[in-house]
Amino acid sequence: MRCCLILQRLQNKFSRRHYNTPPSQQSLSPLSVSSNSSSSNQTSAADWVDTFEIPWGKFSEELMQSLERGKRLSPKMRKEMVRIVVSEMMRKSSYLGNRSSTEAAKKMVAKYPKSLQDVIDGDVIGPGYHSLVKQLQYRIDNVKRSTMPKIRKRKRCCKTSDTDEIPPEQRAAIQDTCGCINWNAKSLPLGETAESQQQKKDKLKMMSLQNEANPEEMKLLMRTTFYSQRKDINQGKSIQDVLETWPLLFHDIEMAVHYKELTGLGLKETFMRNMDMKGKRLLNYMNIVCVNKNKRFFLAQTKLMMVRGELDGYSEDVKEMVLLLFCYFNENEEAMFFCVEDTCLAVEVQMDNASLTPTIIVCGQSCFYAKRFMLSVAQQMGHNNISCFISALCMMFGSYYCLNIHYQLGLASKLEFLQRFEVLFFLLVGS
């Protein structure tokens, strides 16, 4: 904030000096013209932010009644409100920075604090409008995505299908980069040729069949063949073809290598770090606050506590958090989990009954009591022996990124929530 104030003061001083310059000097300097234009734009931008009026009249009757009565908004109504406000802001200016979002949020919270203010157990959190600022800024970023670089993602193969896999002969549809920093590797690594890439690919396939293969060597080979992996995936090859060509891509360590090259982030490390920082707080929020807001959530939470019983530990907290998020977003957990008998082998799984999108196959009646998990993608068995639930969850999430798969409609809200896990607390506060 201090930096912003200093910059603003410097700009004001520059503007005053410019306007005191004789006309003859102004005409001789091309910088004067651009300075005038820039200063004028900044002034007009500041004017519209200060005079901007929230379009209350465009809100639905249900939304306005909730605001007038001081009721907390449901996630659906809150999203509707944010979309309308951002749409109106975009009419005023194509440049919307943090200041414009903050000023709009301040005005909204000031008028309807009971409905919009950030409050937990009667205590106002921070300035009281931070979560709304975040939501406005995220919406602005989403609207601006049309001007950002594009990537290709798998489309549903037919209107009635719920899969994101496409036949290999079809080209993938253009979509946003969604945080990828190296989606389309432009060239082979130094010293690599098409022949050397093929040799490494063949070696990786052989190592996938060995029980005692060197993991460090496999990780190195996965990094050096990243270019070839992306080329095959981005060309729209089927999941089955990718599985046959790159079988280790569906294993936890090797998928983590691909994900790190693709996004610049550690797959499991990022999740664990954010769980340590905010997971417990989120869990407490759902168990203390959410249960008192919604009868459906209360019943689901009570049932979940009975299933969990006396089980304790870090992994059990993650399972509880994920299952409660299903209830919070009113989504069906069967879209992510497919339960089979605890003694079931991979070849015995009825894959036709599994979801077509990345699915965690639970070997047992519940995530809490399962000792083994599997991962399927497009009804193809990717990994048949995952001992840790957190690893299975991270691999399922990583599959969407690594294989260019759209979030399934029935899971979109929860998966986007996990995707933004670094700010997950602010997505829930006050909504």
Degrees to nearest 5, angle at CA 143 with 59 and 268? 110
Secondary structure letter of residue 348 according to DSSP: G
CA dist 373 and 367 (Å) reads 9
Domain end among 112, 147, 182? 147
CA dist 260 and 113 (Å) reads 42
Identify which of 228, 238, 109, 225 has the alpha carbon closest to the alpha carbon of residue 166: 238
Degrees to nearest 5, angle at CA 39 with 34 and 43? 150
Asked if residue 64 belongs to a domain, the reply is yes
Asked if residue 194 belongs to a domain, the reply is no
pLDDT on residue 361:
94
pLDDT on residue 93:
84
Asked if residue 364 belongs to a domain, the reply is yes
pLDDT on residue 108:
93
Rama region for 68: left / alpha / beta (φ>0; ψ in -120 to 50; rest):
alpha
Q: Please, are residues 392 and 373 in contact by the beta-carbon 8 Å criterion?
A: yes
Instruction: Give Cα 336 to chain centroid, integer Å.
Output: 16
The reported pTM is 0.58
Identify which of 373, 400, 331, 375 has the alpha carbon closest to the alpha carbon of residue 165: 400
Asked if residue 152 belongs to a domain, the reply is no
Domain end among 147, 173, 202? 147
User: Can you give the residue range of the structural domain that contains 395?
Assistant: 282-428
Asked if residue 21 belongs to a domain, the reply is no
CA dist 244 and 125 (Å) reads 51
User: How many folded domains does the chain comprise?
Assistant: 2
Asked if residue 351 belongs to a domain, the reply is yes
- Gyration radius of the chain over CA positions: 26
CA dist 80 and 57 (Å) reads 13
Asked if residue 407 belongs to a domain, the reply is yes
Give the bridge partners for 360, in sequence order.
Answer: 337, 375
Asked if residue 126 belongs to a domain, the reply is yes
pLDDT on residue 2:
43
Q: Which residue has the tokens 């659906």?
A: 76
Secondary structure letter of residue 210 according to DSSP: -
pLDDT on residue 259:
92
pLDDT on residue 419:
59
Which segments of the chain have a pLDDT < 50?
A: 1-8, 10, 13-43, 45, 147-152, 155-176, 422-431
Exposure of 158 by Cβ count < 10 A (0-12 exposed, 13-18 middle, 19+ buried)?
exposed
Domain end among 147, 180, 211? 147
